[in-house]
Amino acid sequence: MVAAYLTTGALAVILGLDRVAVLQCMVSRPLVAAPLTGWLLGIPMAGVEVGMMLELLWLGRLPVGAVIPPDDTQVAIGATALALTMERLLGLHGMPAVILCVLVAIPLGMIGQYADTRVREANNLLAGSADAAAAAGDSRRIEQLHWRGVGHFILAALFTCSVIVAGGTLLLYPLAPLLVGTVHETGLALQYSFTMIGAAVLLGTLNVSRGFFLFGAAFVATLLVIGLR
């Protein structure tokens, strides 16, 4: 398990940096981050399932200006790591266990917004120090300060992922055996509800005239085609 947690931590940092600080090539999206985590932890299907459930949920929350969206990257990585923990500690696996991990990771992941806010406040100090460096004509110092900002983002990613995995394990260890049967009873409904909610929220945020018509027409036409086959 130590190797698995070290891998999780490394992924939390690498993929977490992609969210804001470095490149932003979308390896931080849940549909990429969770399958990658699952693959490296030896539970690829759990990773794919986590990614599918979380991908659309906060996609409509745009990181524009000072807006800080929920940290769906750490939720995805943390939920996948929790799925492995549940399998190893309690012998729980399969879709119901994965759903429980996601359900626990989502509220715990709210800490990510807090951590992101603290990082940006800490970086305010760097901007102040950069003023002094610029006035002194010290461009090397400006570069160092910039890299220190990256370090703050690394700490925030590790903190958020740790809270999700540690807090989630503490919550799920006693609760998961009690709830897993009930979750199993919901069938596919609970699993698909995450994607449906995400789709609905995204539809609400994509400001397109005729949006409802396009969505409804595509929905009905697809069901008709499936029904006629």
Partner 1 sequence: MSTPRISLSILLHGCLRSILQQGSWNFERMQNLGFIYQLLPGLRRLYGPTPPAGVLQRHTEYFNTHPYMASWIAGTVLRLEEKQLAGETLPVNAATFRSMVMAPYAAMGDALFWGALRPLAAVVALLLAIQGILWAPLVLLLIYNLPHLMCRCGGWLLGYRQGLASVELLQRLRLPDVAIRLKELTIILLGVLCALLAARGCAHQEIAPSWGLALLPVVLVFTWMARRGVSSFSLVVITTASLLGLALVF
- Alpha-carbon gap, residue 195 to 187, rounded angstroms: 15
Structure tokens at 174: 């006693």
| Residue list 13-32, contact with partner 1 (CB under 8 A) | 20-27, 29, 31-32
Binding flag, residue 195, partner 1 (CB under 8 A)? yes
Q: How far is the CB of 87 from partner 1 (least distance, A)?
A: 20
37, 55, 112, 168: which one contacts partner 1 (CB under 8 A)? 55
Q: Could you write out the DSSP letters of every residue in 199-217?
A: HHHHHHHS--TTHHHHHHH
Binding flag, residue 177, partner 1 (CB under 8 A)? no
Which residue, 3 or 25, has its beta carbon nearer to partner 1?
A: 25
Binding flag, residue 203, partner 1 (CB under 8 A)? yes
- Alpha-carbon gap, residue 41 to 165, rounded angstroms: 14
| Residue list 57-96, contact with partner 1 (CB under 8 A) | 57-66, 70
> Residue 65, by phi and psi: left (phi above 0), alpha (psi -120 to 50) or beta?
left
- Alpha-carbon gap, residue 167 to 115, rounded angstroms: 16
Q: How far is the CB of 47 from partner 1 (least distance, A)?
A: 9
| Residue list 136-165, contact with partner 1 (CB under 8 A) | 136-137, 139, 142-143, 145-150, 152-153
Which residue, 2 or 78, has its beta carbon nearer to partner 1?
A: 78
- Alpha-carbon gap, residue 176 to 86, rounded angstroms: 8
